[in-house]
Structure 1
Amino acid sequence: MVQKGTEGLMFQTVQTTGAGTAHSHVYDESMFFSPLSSGIGGLEECVLKSATLSTSPACPPFIPLNMEAMPIVRVAIEPKHPSDMPKLVRGMRLLNQADPCAEVLIQETGEHVLVTAGEVHLQRCLDDLRER
């Protein structure tokens, strides 16, 4: 039995086995378990985009998300006030970790570049950077 957290919900995964005509199959059935009320902090230095956390070293990793939308919109970003640059850098680092479709680059010229999957995605990322 494995517990998976995704989008604020905790799921309990139960492994079941079913027999086919020529061979047997293993199925994972996810059932609603309970809302998440807390999370694990302090992982931002260890995790980029996704990770499997387990108390058992024998736990196989969850399969990473296969992104169908490739980042195509590229924008250079700078803060309104130069004194806010450390906040922007931290926000972009967190965005890069949290959003599997966003990429953050630092050009040789020192420009901070955000690459997103489209204009709507770009606007959402910019809103996240401003509000958080």
Structure 2
Amino acid sequence: HHEASKLVGQVMLSLMDDAGIDFECAGGLTMGADPVGTAVMRAAVDAGRPVDAFVVRKAQKSYGMGRQVEGPSVEGRKVLVLEDTSTTGGSALTAVEGVRKAGGNVVAVAVIVDRDTGAKEKIEAEAGVPYLFAFGKDELGLG
């Protein structure tokens, strides 16, 4: 939704700023992360900051350029991996792996809603980066 997108971008950008996370690119596993990455990119543009958005395929393409990460290059850049929500952490970890294979430096994983099902612990242990979330399920009355 056009109104929600602007707010999502602002909330996620503020979340990263408050945590002191500096990044140049934002995105994650397609499809859940696509609108979140675009929202963050848009909020950054509105704030006068250059942030590119990208998408990560579940697997590397077997044709064309054979890429798993699509969009502006993440190679050598500070990357924020995004997701709308996370249950097991699997989608975010797939995105982290794809970004790292493409030469990106993953600085954090961030989600809009954390379901409090262990994704934070799994991602921090396996990816070795901070996991941040804007809202817990209890805050949204989803307890």
What is the TM-score of this pair, normalised by structure 2? 0.23
Q: Which has the larger radius of gyration?
A: 1
- Give the structure with the larger helix fraction: 2
- Give the structure with the larger strand fraction: 1
What is the TM-score of this pair, normalised by structure 1? 0.24
